[in-house]
Amino acid sequence: MLETRRRYARGSPLTSDDHASFFEQLFNTNPAIKLLIDPSDGRIVDANASAVRFYGYPADVLKQLKITDINCLDPEVVLANMAKAEACQQLFFEFKHRLANGDVRDVHVYSGPVCLGGREYLHSIIIDVTDEKRYCALLETYNDLFHNLPVGVYRNSAEPESRFTAANPAMLTIFEAESLQALLSVRPSSLYESADELKSFIADLERDGVVSRRPLRLRTLKGALIHTEVTALRQVAEDGSVDFSGIVEDVTARHAAEVNRDRLTHLLDASPDIVSIADGQGRVVYLNKAGRDLFGTLPDMLADALVSAHPPWVRRLIEEEGIPYAMEHGYWYAETAVLGRKGEIPVSQLIVTRRNQSGAIDSIATIMRDISQVKQHQAELEYHAGHDPLTGAVNRNRFLDLLIRERKRARRSGEPLSLIMFDLDHFKRINDTFGHSVGDMVLKKLVLTCRGLLREVDVLARWGGEEFMLLLPATPLLGAVYLAERLRQAIAEEPFPPVPILTSSFGVAELGPEEAEAHCYKRLDAALYRAKANGRNRVCVAEPEALSGSLPDESR
């Protein structure tokens, strides 16, 4: 081998043996991975030490393999590529080779024909490019991220001549820059809306080396105000130079939504209505101030906790009707009640359901308004509409409505129903002698006196002037006569100063099951007329329904 080197150095011609020896030296001592392959069948004829280390097979084992045992391509494709290399049609290839441990590596193969001992072989140099390809793929990924991220990515130099040195396309969009050069020519500090925000941001970055998601108000190159969140990193190079890298996220739309949400929250908290919102799992995610004042602030409150604030009858109504109806139609409205310190509080309640794009329930909102005053006002209106303003007795219209209701009930139950008509004797004299104010006092006290003897189901009505009517459910004629006599005595014994004596006359009748009300009124009126004609201060029973006839129309 030494002699071969000397001949080569002197420029003497090399023999074929010299060539073989020289090739063998280069093949075995070269640090590159090398294989010698028989092109006829792909058998590995020889492999250098670097190849043994790379493929992980013992040398004798590796030399018993074929290249198709290592190459991951189909054997036919491998043999076709070997033929191209043998014919010098293609000398460079990209393959995947499988190692002894099963790992697959990306390799570049430079392969060409050599003649040794009168036979032709393929001399293949293998370069492992697995890590290089991974690094390139990683660089490509980073490059894609840099250019395609919807958030701005930048790098800028330090003051005093700070400038952007790199920016992705999203930065151009965020800052309304017409070109990359336009943005790179701008000083970053000129984009800040507030000098104080800039000063604080730089101070924190110099102190900590990093600032994460800092809210900043910035201006675009066209002067528009944008709300952003900026993350920045301070970096020091080996030469001591400083630059900054960061991410800018435009949150202007989110900021506007948060402002609107805050406005809405303020409005809802100022509302006297109770407003709650539960998610699809029934967990309350919002409860306004009126609701918190009533129910308390439970961190993990469930919608069931709100339902429990209702009386039992409302819970049943909501569970059996309200929620199912709202699930189907999107809303449900009713008058319900909640439990307060003084008992039930009437409320108007609206339940609204919202579904997501897949159709599942996304949220359930409940709005409850205290209608106590409305109910009280409504009750007062109904009371005044159905009662005499002077005495508090029901008026004639209300009496007629109640009579219809009681007649239906009497027909269903078969119970008797009686009426009493009465008025004050010589009431005109009281008004003429003592004045109408005394007359009004007498009427009011008369009603109070009568109510002391009546049941809760009995109805006392001012029929007109000093005339009154009594409706007595489940009362036969004899019971009504007994009550009329007690009332007559109570009125006669009750003092009505300055009136010295006050008496009253009564007509009593039991209403027939199919008798017309107007006919019964005539019978009562006739009985009352007889009481007046027979000396007043007495009770007279009306003629039976079949015997009643026309009535005289005379003054009492």
Q: What is the pLDDT of residue 207?
A: 92
One of 3.40.50.970, 3.40.50.300, 3.30.70.120, 3.30.450.20 is the CATH number of 275-375, namely 3.30.450.20
Dihedral sign (CA 289, 290, 291, 297): positive
For residue 161, report the phi and psi dihedrals to the nearest 5 degrees.
-110, 55
Beta strands 343-355; 210-219: pairing state: unpaired
CB 226 within 8 A of CB 215: no
Domain boundaries, the chain: 31-130, 149-255, 275-375, 387-541
Within 8 A by CB and 6+ apart from 480, the residues are 418, 419, 420, 470, 472, 508, 509, 510
Distance CA 549, CA 545 (A): 9
Residue 193 has pLDDT above 80, yes or no: yes
* Strands, E assignment, 341-478: 343-355, 361-370, 417-424, 459-464, 467-473
For residue 366, report the phi and psi dihedrals to the nearest 5 degrees.
-125, 130
Q: What is the pLDDT of residue 7?
A: 43
Token code pair at residue 462? 């001012």
Residue 336 has pLDDT above 70, yes or no: yes
Out of 466, 467, 485, 494, pick the active-site residue: 466
Domain 149-255 adopts which CATH fold?
A: Beta-Lactamase (3.30.450)
Mean pLDDT of the chain: 89
Q: What is the mean pLDDT of residues 96-116?
A: 93
Is CATH 3.30.465.10 the right assignment for the domain spanning 31-130? no
Active-site residue flag, 545: no
CATH class of 387-541: alpha beta
* Region of residue 90 (left: phi > 0; alpha: psi -120 to 50; beta: else): beta
Q: Do 31-130 and 275-375 fold alike per CATH?
A: yes
Q: Which residue has the tokens 């005595």?
A: 489
Residue 385 has pLDDT above 80, yes or no: yes
Q: What is the pLDDT of residues 290-328, one digit of tens each?
A: 888 877 665 555 556 666 778 999 989 998 999 899 999
Longest dimension (CA), the chain: 173
Q: Which helix (H) or strand (E) holds 67?
A: helix 67-70
Dihedral sign (CA 490, 493, 499, 505): positive
Q: What is the pLDDT of residue 140?
A: 78
Residue 21 has pLDDT above 80, yes or no: no
Tell me the H-state helices in 336-435: 372-386, 396-413, 427-434
Q: What is the pLDDT of residues 58-93, one digit of tens each?
A: 999 999 999 999 999 999 999 999 999 999 999 999
For the chain, what percent of residues have pLDDT higher than 90? Answer: 71
Q: What is the pLDDT of residues 392-412, one digit of tens each?
A: 999 999 999 999 999 999 999
